[in-house]
Structure 1
């Protein structure tokens, strides 16, 4: 305990500690929330926030709990030791990138997103039990890469797939953690794919700038000069794009796996989504933000699945200085693990928190009360940049899939998927069957 008149330190997790965490992190997070309360100590220097209030507080208090800089695709070394972008350049690049990702920017381009989403059901072989995540990933990559790069997307899509593969190789659990300065085979593979993607993108940037036709996509937004600073340095543009490219389809693919599984397990909900989707225009390219807003139940279903199974179920922050969290003392240099999975199942925030009830997100008279904290896209200064794009992609993909297919899990004793938690909450190996609606 702390000194007199000082908040106590978080209670230590009983029975198992870090060894049990290594075996089954999701189960231990749930047990810790039940046995130890809102905040608890996994081991000295590692706190876990499992209730909604402390989780939201950590994410919003970015000065007290900053996000450690650990980019998946760090800036490349320049040939000849050329100047790297300054911190101000990187901040400007972030602001320029956000111009193309904000909700109003996404809303203006729904007609470009909808055709790829509408085409997804036609790629699903009917009447067969198939592994669906590779199919979903390819469809979402087409949407995401086209959103970022418009007419230049076809040439970049294969390279984006290789970036994703590099990310998968780096994310695999390893028995031995090498120091970051050692160039492991996985890191070298990552660098090769990053260089290939950047080399393909550089002439696109040069061509757009020299022609003056910058484009209306996200890359075009980044190339527009600001009235105060002028154009961004090319490296500030290029450094940021490999990571955001993979992000447009990696996490949404995990989310889509859970959504499709729920369409299979809840046919009544799937029928309601299909009925909404029947009101979408026959030509997907004419879909507008108003059509998307009309998919109220579909959006509620997507949010409910994201609540129950947030793809990024565990977020990491640091506490550089001693601070207070939920009436406890967090020591300086501690790691704080934020768990949206347990926060979303906090009975103080949600009625019947473990039950799948999309209606809770609607304003209908029968809805079960106003929902609480929603952290599937994070919150605060480091919330997900692409939240609006992800919601649009997932809502349209869900609507068109339910409109054309009834989904089911394979018959037999084998599970349809395995739950993995290492890099995110995913339905690994998910197998489903699609039967065309009559």
Structure 2
């Protein structure tokens, strides 16, 4: 059997010590696919990563969601109902739907920038997360967002507790304290959302937000059952701000470290309307360099830098044999540093996305939102949020890191690539 190569020092102990460094070594020394341990492989470059993500039948996503359906006496929604709920949800998240609501997203991005304290070092990720949560929850639930935002924040906290590194990996059926906390927060969110769903349906005022799209009858599958709607929303609610918050930390750090790029974003952002509510998709489309900067930061620091898949059958990947049941770790972090796809891959160069050769549609070129059947459904919303947040910040401030030899943040790689504790200083532009 033709097995992928393996690093001499490769092991879970070395992996746990410095996952980014070992991932880079594996890609550099072993190539497209390498073996971490028996039955655990890493897809390290653009081609194999793209292939695994697109071959969803051979390499399916993990079947256990972070917020699984709640157990009820009436029974959980069927797999068909869950699929229909996902399709209905996508109607509210597709690029055309996001483009139509830019005027609702932009004011919150501007408010975040307006409220940044100047002249002091600020730990910026908490206010970033709060601002993006307000944008995301409002996008999903419109006028009902204020009611649901506190419950969404608790869902995020439950997620953080649940994915915190631990020495022990407990079987899924064991009700650990973290899992019980998750269930309590999920029940609280669902109990807050249920009367909103019933009020909208009984009044006939379904709303133009994502929830409204899910409440509408479809010619293909009719009305969704209430439980199918409720079960599908906790995960996407947290996703609208959790992953973008990680990305925003890296973006703001790059604005601080690359003042010429920040100046170019500021000049571009000067064309935005004075009233953020007047911002349209045309204004967003005009922020071409800002979008390129966001995309370049996401290339270098993909928030979801490692994706887990499991082979359902013995198959081939990059001319290697992968046995059924094997785990394949898809690594956008190293795929984005594939010099065959990105010249000078470690260099921060937003301009690479401004010509056709750097098209994100090129296979394997850009995997920060995944690809294939399980690609990020909120990609258009995330790009709009991050682009407007970047533009509104750069048009007001010059950002800088605190002086001194110590780094202004710690890099964490567990569950996502993030700048924990990031501190930055904002100085008003003259």
Normalised to the residue count of structure 2, the TM-score between the two structures is 0.98
Q: What is the deviation of 1:123? A: 1.6
State how many pairs are aligned. Answer: 427
Distance in 2 (CA, whole Å) between partners of 1:194 and 1:128 is: 37
Tell me the SS of whatever aligns to 1:249.
helix
Q: What is the deviation of 1:84? A: 1.6
Query: Does structure 2 conserve the Cα–Cα contact (< 8 Å) formed by 1:408 and 1:433?
Result: yes
Distance in 2 (CA, whole Å) between partners of 1:237 and 1:384 is: 19
Distance in 2 (CA, whole Å) between partners of 1:11 and 1:336 is: 14
Q: What is the deviation of 1:404? A: 0.7
Runs (5+) with no aligned partner, structure 1: 3-7
Distance in 2 (CA, whole Å) between partners of 1:404 and 1:82 is: 53
Tell me the SS of whatever aligns to 2:316.
strand
Counterpart pick for 2:320 among 314, 325, 328: 328
Matched with 1:351 is 343
Q: Write the deviation string for residues 202-250 of structure 1: whole angstroms up to 9, x where unpaired.
A: 0000000000000000000000011233210000000011100000000
Distance in 1 (CA, whole Å) between partners of 2:359 and 2:268 is: 23
Q: What is the deviation of 1:370? A: 5.8
Distance in 1 (CA, whole Å) between partners of 2:27 and 2:221 is: 49
Q: How does 1:17-416 map to 2 (within 5 A)?
A: 17-78=11-72, 81-363=73-355, 373-416=365-408
Q: Write the deviation string for residues 82-116 of structure 1: whole angstroms up to 9, x where unpaired.
A: 13211110010000000000000000000000000
Distance in 2 (CA, whole Å) between partners of 1:15 and 1:77 is: 44
Which shows bigger deviation, 246-255 or 11-20? 11-20
Query: Does structure 1 conserve the Cα–Cα contact (< 8 Å) formed by 2:10 and 2:36?
Result: no
Query: Does structure 2 conserve the Cα–Cα contact (< 8 Å) formed by 1:351 and 1:368?
Result: no
Tell me the SS of whatever aligns to 1:120.
helix
Q: What is the deviation of 1:53? A: 0.4
Matched with 1:13 is 7
Tell me the SS of whatever aligns to 1:336.
strand
Q: What is the deviation of 1:34? A: 0.8
Distance in 2 (CA, whole Å) between partners of 1:369 and 1:180 is: 42
Runs (5+) with no aligned partner, structure 2: none
Matched with 1:5 is none
Tell me the SS of whatever aligns to 1:263.
helix
Q: What is the deviation of 1:368? A: 7.8
Which shows bigger deviation, 287-296 or 369-378? 369-378
Q: What is the deviation of 1:22? A: 1.5
Query: Does structure 2 conserve the Cα–Cα contact (< 8 Å) formed by 1:359 and 1:368?
Result: no
Query: Does structure 2 conserve the Cα–Cα contact (< 8 Å) formed by 1:133 and 1:253?
Result: yes
Distance in 2 (CA, whole Å) between partners of 1:64 and 1:118 is: 44
Q: Write the deviation string for residues 158-184 of structure 1: whole angstroms up to 9, x where unpaired.
A: 111010000000111011222211111
Distance in 2 (CA, whole Å) between partners of 1:190 and 1:333 is: 29
Query: Does structure 2 conserve the Cα–Cα contact (< 8 Å) formed by 1:46 and 1:335?
Result: yes
